[in-house]
Amino acid sequence: MKFTRSSGILLHPTSLPGRFGIGSLGHEAFEFVNFLHRSAQSLWQILPLGPTGYGDSPYSAFSAFAGNPLLICLERLVERGDLEPSDIEGIDMPEDRVQFGQVQGLKGRLLKKAAERFFSMARGERRDAFESFCASESFWLEDYVLFRALREKFKQQPWTSWPAPYRLRETEAMEQVRQELDHSCAEGRYAQFVFFEQWSALKDYAGSRGVRILGDIPIYVADDSADVWARPELFHLNEQGLPYVVAGVPPDYFSATGQRWGNPMYRWEKMAEDGFSWWIERLRHNLKLTDLVRIDHFRGLEAAWEIPAADPTAEGGRWVPVPGRAMLRKAMEALGEIPLVAEDLGIITPEVEALRDEFNLPGMNILHFAFGSGAANPYLPHNVRCNSLIYTGTHDNDTSLGWWNALGAEERQSVQAYFGLENPRMPQDLIRLAMSSVAGICITPLQDILELDGAHRMNTPGQGCDNWGWRFKRQDLTGQREASLRDLTRIYGRVSN
């Protein structure tokens, strides 16, 4: 993939400010695009946009295709006439962190109300747009809305706990329940329609300001998802629908016992029978949403760490081969050149590098991982490739200030020696180092731009709760920060808009 030397910021929309308990696709998102434009940033990297389940992780969604209704801007619904101004008056939730539980209750109630008003009043062009959306997205939409309606019917229990006729999708039971839950399914279609309506407007605006959006595809899907319920034949499941092997990674930098993610493993041989159509549609869908797409855990397209489902940790897993080469070839035959980024972190073998390089995909370099192991460390700026992305850290890392404060003496000395400074300024000097590298794209988490410590990190891998909730404040994006970032971007030749 070829790209212009450029830079951008990593920020998930949930972290935007706003009075409704979570960032949304409304005014604050457009203002963030304006900040990116004014500071000469041409990329906005986000996390997956799917509807989150237990733990609120965007990497564990109820669908690989649906959008997260929690991101819908209520004020935009008022502007569209789907809600009355009085419906949102007096709502002023805390803005320090995302209030997931409260937001689910609030937006769930108001989206139902908005759907009723839409179906009773919408006419003409917008009603036609809704019908067109439902028809064009039927590949995933009908299964998803029925899945969510059934989940509500069965008190939010995972689909593997539902009565057998629904769990196994018996034809007669499905016909009856579609009629029974028709109203709930219609509400679900409406929520998806307005999500993609708002996202499309935001993406178009970003493009008009010279800002491209870098999206994210988790390589695996959640076990409790519409994807697994609707297409169980594509996964290694037992007769009850439970996975007998699950995904993860072996012991690494993040965890001494590895990471047992728990996602069901794909039956790749089954996917190959129809030319990997499910993956092709997934890529096609994501390329409509964003300008570039990162495949999270890219190495899982060469070999996957398969863990017996009964094991409590990832230590007892094994590597199994994956036909990622065949899948990518089929995808590019169908879609043309795909602007993919390979998240090639962790245990990377020559085979993984060969797969990445065969398709000319840029990989990733993380400066937090660069120090303490000598001059040959592949993430040190003098070793990185032009066809790659460089980061200070990612959403899974501590902030750079938090990382620096926690460093041991030996690694701190390594950083000091590399900078040639006894007291490097953190995170400013680390950002400068990333910007100055030959990597074609430089991405900095907003927390580092704002010089925040470890109390403001987005996610701690292996921690089951209290993640994904960080938000910035409106007043954080000052003119001084904007000017400093713009100057740094110009100095190192990354102005591309």
C-alpha span between 159 and 168 (Å, rounded): 9
Q: Decide: 72 and 16 in contact? Cβ < 8 Å.
A: no
Structure tokens at 352: 């993984």
Q: Which helix (H) or strand (E) holds 328?
A: helix 324-335
Any residues with CB less than 8 A from the CB of 134 and at least 6 apart, and which?
141, 189, 193
In single-letter form, the type of residue at position 434 comes to A
Q: Decide: 228 and 235 in contact? Cβ < 8 Å.
A: yes
Q: What is the phi/psi pair of residue 310, to 5°? A: -75, -15
Q: Which residue carries 């590597």 as its tokens?
A: 319
C-alpha span between 349 and 265 (Å, rounded): 21
> Residue 341 burial by CB count (10 A; 0-12/13-18/19+): exposed, middle or buried?
buried
DSSP single-letter state for residue 109: H
215: which strand partners? 293
Judge if the upstream peptide bond of residue 427 is cis by omega within 30 degrees of 0.
yes
Alpha carbon dihedral 456, 461, 466, 472, in 10-degree steps, equals 30
Q: Decide: 467 and 56 in contact? Cβ < 8 Å.
A: yes
CA 296 to mean position of chain CA atoms: 9
In single-letter form, the type of residue at position 334 comes to A
Closest CA to 411 of 355, 468, 369, 361: 369
C-alpha span between 34 and 424 (Å, rounded): 31
Known catalytic residues are 296, 343, 396
* Residue 264 three-state SS: strand
Any residues with CB less than 8 A from the CB of 267 and at least 6 apart, and which?
233, 234, 235, 236
DSSP single-letter state for residue 306: E
Query: How many residues make up the chain in this entry?
Result: 497
